[in-house]
Amino acid sequence: MGEGRLGWGLFVSGVRLRVVESGGLPDGEEEMTEVGRGSVYTRNAGGKALRDLGRHAEKDLHSSFLWPYAEALADLVDERLRATGRVVVVDLHSYPLQTLPYERHQDAKRPQVCVGVDVDHTPPALVERVTAACSIIGQVVVNEPFSGSYVPLRHFGRDIRVTSVMVELRRDTYLRGDGSLDPEGARRINAALVAILSG
């Protein structure tokens, strides 16, 4: 399913602690498990240990966070399928300019926009629409440095009416060097997203 995923987290005294990678697969199937970034994070982005997790604790975190999120999103997708007959999931993320230690493909390109696609759930027309819309942000590359896109497990490989595309934005496209928002970059991203969603 790829490396870039939206996860549930806890906020403690302003510090975000990643608990569950809600867009990931259960750890027996998730390729990022070997670097401690599977459905339950055991290592941070620098590779340092976050927690020593036993199987029982992992199941508890899945029960508390992963499965409720997955079911709620799948229910929402089913609701939209009943109403419109099709669904487009836009899986939106960001990544830094510099490669992080956990990333499996250290020499991959780092364009301004990475478009992640799934072989069964991302039709070529959707890739073309997203690529054209995001070209106002900068260079667009498909499946590099991250790949895949989120599809609820209930629909994954089962219902092609559910399409999905991941949009990974390199953070310097909307943030200045001091971490403040770049209004012009944010405007371009907003315009691209409007074009994607109204297509």
Beta strands in the chain (DSSP E): 8-12, 15-20, 87-95, 113-116, 140-142, 162-170
Number of domains present in the structure of the chain: 1
pLDDT at position 110, please? 93
Domain-embedded: residue 3: no
Low pLDDT (below 70) residues in the chain? 1-33, 35-40, 42-45, 55, 101-103, 105, 199
Domain-embedded: residue 1: no
Domain-embedded: residue 192: yes
Closest CA to 113 of 196, 53, 18, 6: 196
pLDDT at position 37, please? 62
pLDDT at position 111, please? 97
Q: Which domain holds residue 87?
A: 8-197
The CATH number for 166's domain is: 3.40.630.40
Domain-embedded: residue 143: yes
Please give the model's pTM, rounded to 2 decimal places: 0.79
Domain-embedded: residue 161: yes
pLDDT at position 101, please? 66
Domain-embedded: residue 27: yes
Domain-embedded: residue 58: yes
